[in-house]
Chains A and B, each alone.
Chain A
Amino acid sequence: MKLPYGLSQGDTRYDIVCQQAVEMVTDYIEDTLDRVNRQRYEKHLSVCDHCNEYLAQMRETIRLAGHLTPDDLSPEMRDAFTDVFRRWREED
């Protein structure tokens, strides 16, 4: 069976490397890491500036996506949708 994050079976080493950390980052943010892997990830963060930066950039990416405001609809589409509404209102 393949273990996640590039850990090989029977791997008892506690420390993870950067290349594993970048694969764990979403599970960390989503809070779906099990206890041992969360501790492994956090221990790595405590010694790795680059992976701290990487985590901060992932959080920033999410934050930026959340600031995206809806693009204005084209006038044609707005008219088409308004037609849909008016047709529906006549249905009753």
Chain B
Amino acid sequence: MQSPSVQSETELLRRLRAGDEQAFVFLVGRYSDSMLRVASAYVPSRAVAEEVVQDTWLAVLRGLDGFQGRSSLRTWLFTILVNRARTTGTREHRSFPIADTTPVVDASRFGPDGSWTSPPEQWIEEAEDRLAANRIADLLRAALDSLPPRQREIVTLRDVEGMSSEEACQVLGITEANQRVLLHRGRSKLRQILEAELRGVR
């Protein structure tokens, strides 16, 4: 997804501060889906995630006058969201799977010498066809939703929202190294799901 350019962001902020409801509707439509996905990593239900997102929007509006633009509007938005979701959430979030050394591809797919015995199956062409025909969104959404919360969150920020690793680390308050471990596991799992869903359908 494309983030609004700096120029359009300045314009959006100006309109929001002036109380322009259309500007707010645009922003809500653009970010709420990813915000819900990220909030869900911290809270027990969709209903609570919706409350967190709603609270975040109010906090954003109330904070508009104080927003200096030192970070992008998006970074600021997601930072508020994550802080609120953490405060609301009941789950433990201190433990990051830094020491998680489970292989990302099942060991049964390699022989004793570490070479593929069950190599990656072809699915890129099928995915491209479905993308061109707008028939892949539901599959992608279901695949993302099936990732473990921490991995879903980082894949949403990095790959769906297109944040840099620096921006994602800032939003989540995690180190680059932890970010990369989670990203590696999340992306690998997503690939695995796409392979399982799309292989052999041609």
Contact = CB atoms under 8 A, between A and B. Distances in A.
Contacts of B191: 57-58, 61
Interface stretch (B5-13, B67-75, B80-88, B133-141): B133-141
A30 B160 contact: no
A82 B61 CA distance: 12
B174 interface: no
Given A22-B105, A81-B32, A81-B57, A53 B119 contact: yes
A61 B194 contact: yes
Interface string B2-28: 000000000000000001010011001
Chain A contact surface mostly: helix
Chain B interface size range = 35 or more
Contacts of B194: 57, 60-61, 64
Interface string A72-87: 1100011011101111
Contacts of B116: 18, 50-51
Interface string B131-151: 100001100110010000000
Interface residues of A, number: 45
A1 interface: no
Interface in A14-64: 17-20, 22-23, 25-27, 30, 32, 50-51, 53-54, 56-58, 60-62, 64
B81 to A, nearest CB: 14
B24 to A, nearest CB: 5
B160 A68 contact: yes
A53 B122 contact: yes
A70 B119 contact: no
Interface of B: 1, 19, 21, 24-25, 28-34, 50, 54, 57-58, 61-62, 101, 103-105, 107, 110, 113-116, 119-120, 122-124, 127-128, 131, 136-137, 140-141, 144, 155, 159-160, 162, 165, 176, 180, 183-184, 187-188, 190-191, 194-195
16 contacts: A6-B114, A17-B113, A32-B176, A56-B124, A57-B120, A58-B191, A60-B124, A61-B194, A65-B140, A68-B141, A70-B30, A70-B31, A70-B34, A81-B32, A85-B24, A85-B61
Given A2-B101, A27-B180, A81-B57, 10 more contacts: A22-B188, A23-B103, A50-B116, A51-B116, A61-B191, A64-B194, A69-B1, A70-B1, A73-B32, A86-B21
